[in-house]
Amino acid sequence: DLQQTLVLIKPDALKNSLTGYVLSQFSEFHTGLTFAGTKVVHVTRMLAEEHYAEHRGKVFFPALIEMITGHLHYPGEPDKQRVIAIVYKGPDVIRKVREICGPTNPHVARDEKPGCVRSLGTVVALKDAQGNIVGDRMDNLIHASATPEEAEREIKLWFRPDDIPPAIRAF
Ligand code: CMP
């Protein structure tokens, strides 16, 4: 089943010099995955909220938006507030990419899948005004589409048709 998927290398990965490491984990040589497109994107609040629309209203949503827009890791440095967006293609690419990522929660990733990319991430407690912990912010270094429908929606959101060569494009 030939698929495409969207990967975002998030600001926490850029900040921690993990870009090369992440790319090497996905490299064609050991995964068989192929690049279909890649770009550096300045993430507006509007794009971030659209991308993460399914999480709107959750306690971690505002922190998630601050994180993906780069406001958190690069405060006051708009020129560094960006992510690297990549489309990979190949047979069963959605599952393969998520396998390399590991579990969403970096603590769970370290316990269950040492060596996966997200095992290098961090979890930061979110507190209310009284100092009570109300949830977590998961700085898990990368995003990867979960289903073929999600992949199509996300690739259309982050890439224009022209960004992907016609010979390689799926939709
Ligand atoms: P990502 O793969 O980019 O997709 C949704 C993001 O929401 C996820 O990575 C996490 O960063 C974040 N997220 C998902 N579930 C939770 C949760 N239960 N608590 C905190 N953050 C979450």
Q: Could you tell me the two tokens for 30? A: 């050991």
Is 55 annotated in the active site? no
Per residue in 17-51, pLDDT tens?
999 999 999 999 888 999 999 999 999 999 999 99
pTM reported for the whole predicted model: 0.96
C-beta of 138 in contact with ligand 1 (< 6 A): yes
C-beta of 71 in contact with ligand 1 (< 6 A): no
Nearest-angstrom CA–CA distance, 82 and 78 = 8
Contact 141, 118 (CB under 8 A): yes
Map out the domains of the chain with their CATH numbers.
2-163 (3.30.70.141)
Torsion over CA: 66, 9, 75, 129 (sign)? positive
Please state whether beta strands 34-41 and 2-9 pair in parallel, antiparallel, or not at all (unpaired): unpaired
C-beta of 64 in contact with ligand 1 (< 6 A): yes
Per residue in 57-94, pLDDT tens?
999 999 999 999 999 999 999 999 999 999 999 999 99
Mutation to probe ligand 1, out of 43, 73, 104, 124 (largest number of atoms < 8 A from CB): 104
Cβ burial of 22 (10 Å; 0-12, 13-18, 19+) is buried
Q: What are phi and psi of 20, to 5 degrees?
A: -65, -40
ipTM for the whole complex = 0.93
Per residue in 104-117, pLDDT tens?
999 999 999 999 99
